Structure 1
């Protein structure tokens, strides 16, 4: 029998959902369908096995503790220190290169993108409630032709992403279905929410926008231009999560599963160069 108009509509809807799922997976390391791979071992795990979060935030927050992710400043030059892991897809021929170099009297992470894509990801212990994320960064070569409002221009010279272990119960029925399907098809530890802090040449600092491929990733532009200079950043994750995901934030700040750093230029086919200093968290 021939396909009805309803059948065609359903097929288009399923196709759109599948495309969005692939792009959600890309934030943590895969730009295309398929399982993630790492340099050190097989697929990247993002530790989305946290215990269930309380329905309400505690009346009196616990004292904050500082957690330094494995620092670049104390690592020798060469490959990034474990447990930082490269995450990408085998279908991407060119991968952004990450290494530890000496710059301005310190050891820092260098990210070199050449029509390439990859993330460098640091997993966290399950049920880590991080309230503040701090780091320093600089760019020496921006992405020519980048436009974060379009899929064809979705490239950045520097990106820092917070990947949250958001309980699926906080999502709409449609989002729950898409995340569960994505975990079944692509990655069982696919994050349900992510905030990416980015450096962009066009959008003004302070601009919030959804990723061009999926609204489960929200981006905040922190810097514009200013090449060759170091900048220190310190972000209130509770406030930023509430701004990025106002409905989902009503249950409190979810656990942080991982932090990802990246530079990419695969969509524009250009190049980018950036540097990152140590990344520090404050936790409850």
Structure 2
């Protein structure tokens, strides 16, 4: 359990360094990951940084590659776990929609979103949120303060968009290790393996549905492919990620 809580905490800490901020004269969209403009062969895309875990010695490998005519990030996980992170600062009420694209080569046979031993996924997109005392309940404030004592600077919450194996698309459940993170199943099963899938989610609505309250500012984005619990292998590809305003 300690190792998996560390996953969440280190993702949080890894997202607290140099924010990308939505400015006063805000554009229609904010590109947080322009992987398609990257340099093939790079291990870490520009503006991103690696996320590794102290007690997990085997890391997922990441590389900027060309898939067909498009430059993307390829992740290969072999009984391993690590990710790539980027600090941002985005108002989810102004930019409620996140769009991204991804592809996987296989699902994990033992992946299970409700089990600690199944908390591995071929592809994840994390959205983390900063602590705003005006937007959280008293009980959550107490839990957050206790978490800070144990782990230091952590986000108040995270939405974790995943590609699961059996759980129905649209399911939102607590992370198997911490209720600070909610798991949102956006793809499930092997039907779309090998296909590029364009995803779009309303973060603002997902947060309210998952946590029952207004979301605070978004403070980070991370991608991760992990197989350290299931001891399986997974390959995934991540395309560009952007946030945009609602179309009215």
TM-score (norm 1): 0.75
* Residue of structure 2 aligned with 1:194, choices 128, 138, 158: 158
**1:121 aligned partner:** 85
Q: Confirm or deny that 1:156 pairs with 2:118.
A: no
Secondary structure of 1:152's aligned partner: helix
Q: Do the aligned partners of 2:121 and 2:164 also contact (CA within 8 Å) in 1?
A: yes
Q: How does 1:90-169 map to 2 (within 5 A)?
A: 90-125=54-89, 130-169=95-134
Change (3 A) 1:127 1:239: closer
Runs of 4+ residues over 6 Å off in structure 1? none
Aligned-partner Cα distance in 2 for 1:45–1:122 = 6
The CA deviation at 1:49 is: 9.1
Aligned-partner Cα distance in 1 for 2:103–2:66 = 14
Secondary structure of 1:141's aligned partner: coil
**1:59 aligned partner:** none
**2:136 aligned partner:** 171
In structure 2, stretches of 5+ residues that fail to align are none
- Report the structure, 1 or 2, having the larger strand content: 2
In structure 1, stretches of 5+ residues that fail to align are 1-18, 31-35, 37-42, 51-61
TM-score (norm 2): 0.86
Q: Do the aligned partners of 2:98 and 2:244 also contact (CA within 8 Å) in 1?
A: yes
* Residue of structure 2 aligned with 1:242, choices 200, 203, 208: 208
* Residue of structure 2 aligned with 1:71, choices 23, 29, 34: 34
Aligned-partner Cα distance in 2 for 1:265–1:28 = 18
Judge which range, 117-126 or 274-283, deviates more: 117-126
**1:259 aligned partner:** 221
- Which string of whole-angstrom CA distances, capped at 9 and with x for unpartnered residues, describes residues 116-154 of structure 1? 111211111476753111000011022221111110111
Aligned-partner Cα distance in 1 for 2:69–2:91 = 36
Q: Confirm or deny that 1:276 pairs with 2:238.
A: yes
Aligned-partner Cα distance in 1 for 2:170–2:91 = 29
Q: Do the aligned partners of 1:118 and 1:263 also contact (CA within 8 Å) in 2?
A: yes
The CA deviation at 1:28 is: 5.5
Judge which range, 116-125 or 168-177, deviates more: 168-177
Q: Do the aligned partners of 2:113 and 2:183 also contact (CA within 8 Å) in 1?
A: no
Secondary structure of 1:277's aligned partner: strand
Q: Confirm or deny that 1:204 pairs with 2:168.
A: yes
Secondary structure of 2:195's aligned partner: coil
Judge which range, 213-222 or 178-187, deviates more: 178-187
* Residue of structure 2 aligned with 1:82, choices 46, 61, 66: 46
| Structure whose CA Rg is larger | 1
**1:217 aligned partner:** 181
The CA deviation at 1:45 is: 4.0
Change (3 A) 1:86 1:156: same
Secondary structure of 1:73's aligned partner: helix
The CA deviation at 1:63 is: 7.1
Q: Confirm or deny that 1:232 pairs with 2:232.
A: no
